[in-house]
Copies of this chain bind each other. A is one copy, B any other.
Amino acid sequence: MPELTIAEVARIAEGEVERGDPQRAVHGVAPLDEAGPDDLSFVAEARYHAYIHASRAAAVLVARGAAVELPDGMAAVRVDDPRRALARILGVLYPRPATSPGVHPTAVLGENVSIHPSASVGAYAVVGEGTRIGARATVHPHVVIGRGCEIGEDALLHPHVTLYDDVTVGARSVVHSGARLGSDGFGFVPERDGLKKVPQVGGCRIGEDVEIGANTTIDRGSIGDTTVGRGTKIDNLVQIGHNCRIGNHVIIVSQVGISGSTKVGDGAVLGGQAGVQGHIEIGAGAKVGGQAGVTASVPAGATVSGYPARPHREAMRIQAAVFGLPKLVQRLKALEKVVLGRGAEGARAGSHADDQDGGEPPRDQ
């Protein structure tokens, strides 16, 4: 198991040791309240500074400007961004377990499969005809890959991943367990005796440095491809419809659904459970709030939320107005009393049965 001295931590994190013994070693990383005397910890937000004092960690990664009170014996490593520093240290202290190159004897390979000698193909994996697997790629046990696929260098497919025929996964991309890439899009046309399937003959192209979460589904194109750009990160249980074109460095949080033929621009961020209609465009750098329902194109750089999604400021203003509605109803009633008097109000009584004017149950009339 690897270990690092605090001085090495500082070097990797591009930071400085503030106090404590730079030669002391850390073996692991843990949250402040769980860290033991062999652990490094970190604090990224001011509201957690108070937890430092009670922590038993050997050292803590902390932002350069932050005023923190360190307990006796704890070292501090000052860095620009504690989260970024943490990511680097974790990569060193917890290296990805090595997988030995080679094809497990139980793997079933189709004709003309090409597997780089440095790649690893696990137990019971099934690889279809004509598929190519690049250098140092890891195909875990129980992965099923169709015909004519390409797996890039250093790509990693976790157990139970399915690739249908004609799917590309770029170099260094990671596909988590149970993700389905290139499944048929949802396309049917009405015929006399019911809905008939439109054969889905397009491909599915995943770029480099992409991460795809567990049980996520990305449909192949109907005609033409579904594409996911370089550096894009997709969480678990996401659905991406046929012929979507997802840009580079996009972030798509868990359970988002994107209907067919929609384009998502570079650097856009989609919050959890958001739903996006088909045949529209989310502009580059746009942000979509969690659970938002996007029914029309979103300009580049805009932030939208709510259902149907509106510019976020507007949605917030509307939301506040909605929450104030019961009070508003009271004010309107007060005004009616002044302007129309009791008699006028009584004249409306006949329609009260179906008058869901809200905010006030009938007793207060």
Report how far A190 CA is from B267 CA in the complex, Å: 11
Chain B proximity mask over A205-237: 1 for CB below 8 Å, otherwise 0:
000010101110101000110000011010111
A357 touches B328 (CB 8 A): yes
Distance, CA A123 to CA B194, complexed state (A): 33
Q: Find chain B residues with CB under 8 A from A184 CB.
A: 174, 176, 211
A158 CB–B CB distance under 8 Å: yes
Q: How far is the CA of A177 from the CA of B178 in the complex (A)?
A: 9
A236 contacts B239, CB within 8 Å? yes
Whether B291 lies near A275 (C-beta < 8 A) is yes
Report which of B122, B141, B324, B340 forms a contact with A358, defined as CB distance below 8 A: B324
Contacts of A159 in B (CB 8 A): 126, 144, 162
* Interface bits A299-322 vs B (CB < 8 Å: 1, else 0): 000000011101000000111111
The count of residues in chain A whose C-beta lies closer than 8 Å to any C-beta of chain B is 114
Q: Of the candidates B233, B257, B329, which one forms a contact with A273 in the assembled complex, judged by CB atoms under 8 Å apart?
A: B257
Interface stretch, picked from A68-76, A87-95, A280-288, is A87-95
Q: How far is the CB of A126 from chain B (nearest CB, A)?
A: 5
26 inter-chain pairs at a CB distance below 8 angstroms, sorted by A residue, are A31-B224, A34-B224, A87-B187, A87-B196, A90-B198, A90-B199, A124-B142, A142-B144, A144-B160, A180-B214, A180-B215, A180-B236, A186-B253, A186-B254, A194-B230, A195-B233, A237-B237, A317-B326, A318-B326, A319-B358, A322-B325, A322-B358, A327-B356, A332-B335, A335-B335, A335-B340
Interface residues of A (CB under 8 A from B): 29-31, 34, 81, 83-84, 86-87, 90-91, 93-94, 96-97, 106, 108, 122-124, 126, 140-142, 144, 147, 158-160, 162, 164-165, 174, 176-178, 180, 183-184, 186-191, 193-199, 201, 209, 211, 213-215, 217, 219, 223-224, 230-231, 233, 235-237, 239, 241, 248-249, 251, 253-255, 257, 259, 272-273, 275, 277, 290-291, 293, 306-308, 310, 317-329, 331-332, 335-336, 338-340, 355-359
